[in-house]
Amino acid sequence: MRVFDFDQAIVREPGHSVVDGIRSDVGAEPNFEGIAAEHRAYVAALRAAGLKVEVLPPLERYPDAIFVEDPALVLPEGAVLLRPGAPTRLGERDEMRSVLTRNFDRVLELENDEYADGGDILVTPEIIFIGMSARTNRAGAAALRAKLSVLGREARTVETPKSVLHFKTAVSLLDQDTIVATKAMAESNIFKGFKIVLIPDGEEAAANLLRVNDAVLVGEGFPRTIDMLTKAGYEVRALPVREIGKLDAGLSCMSLRWRKER
């Protein structure tokens, strides 16, 4: 089974408060109707790729709750309830606990002062990379490595380039031995042994694409990336992410994806 072969997904419908979510560009005002439409297109793409998608209700209390990947990590072997590094997002983990216990026999949890965001975690066939960032600290990375060891997975802590918010903002898994990355991430020398496909200059945000079964989901605003991957033989599905992008977000963070163990 490939690590991007999924049949299950969890997403959360955006609440109206999503427009108040964390963002670096305060001048880029997101539009709720646009975010909701983009989210619906995203859910439709997951279903078209063959996944059963559970849609959780909005959490108006937590504007960023649409990004369900940050408070949890899910694998076929079990789940880990994380602790998001942004203080306003800590409550999201409590909202995810019952969802995880309903879907997984084993749910492990990070403890106080251990912070790790799902956006800093890249799962590859042999290694799970945990990127240090403003949202993931050393205690959190160390604790997560220990939890993953319990689940039978090997993890490695690496440094995220200073200019990058989340590790996966700048890198994604394209296939079992290939990653797509920005130039800054590719030059970090983290991914020895992998083939590296560089994102075209000016389209760095396209690095947060999402491989789901045989489909590669990419933001529709990145034509050179789409053309490059299509010519390389990938089944590319372009999705609107204009409004969601205003919240410093991309395609991976809006879902939790896994395959049930057979």
Residue 166: its pLDDT value, please?
A: 82
Chain centroid, CA 158 distance in Å: 17
The answer to whether the CB of 222 falls within 8 A of the CB of 244 is no
Q: Smallest Cα–Cα separation from 164: which of 199, 138, 129, 135?
A: 135
Which residues are within 8 A (CB) of 54 and not within 5 positions of it... i.e. 6 or more apart? 8, 9, 10, 11, 99
Question: Does 238 have pLDDT greater than 60?
Answer: yes
Structural domains for the chain: 8-258 (3.75.10.10)
Give the global pTM.
0.95
Indicate if the alpha-carbon torsion angle 77, 49, 82, 143 is positive or negative: positive
Residue 162: its pLDDT value, please?
A: 78
DSSP 23-50: -S-TTS---HHHHHHHHHHHHHHHHHTT
Residue 261: its pLDDT value, please?
A: 64
User: Annotated active-site positions, please?
Assistant: 166, 253
Please give the mean pLDDT across all residues of the chain: 95
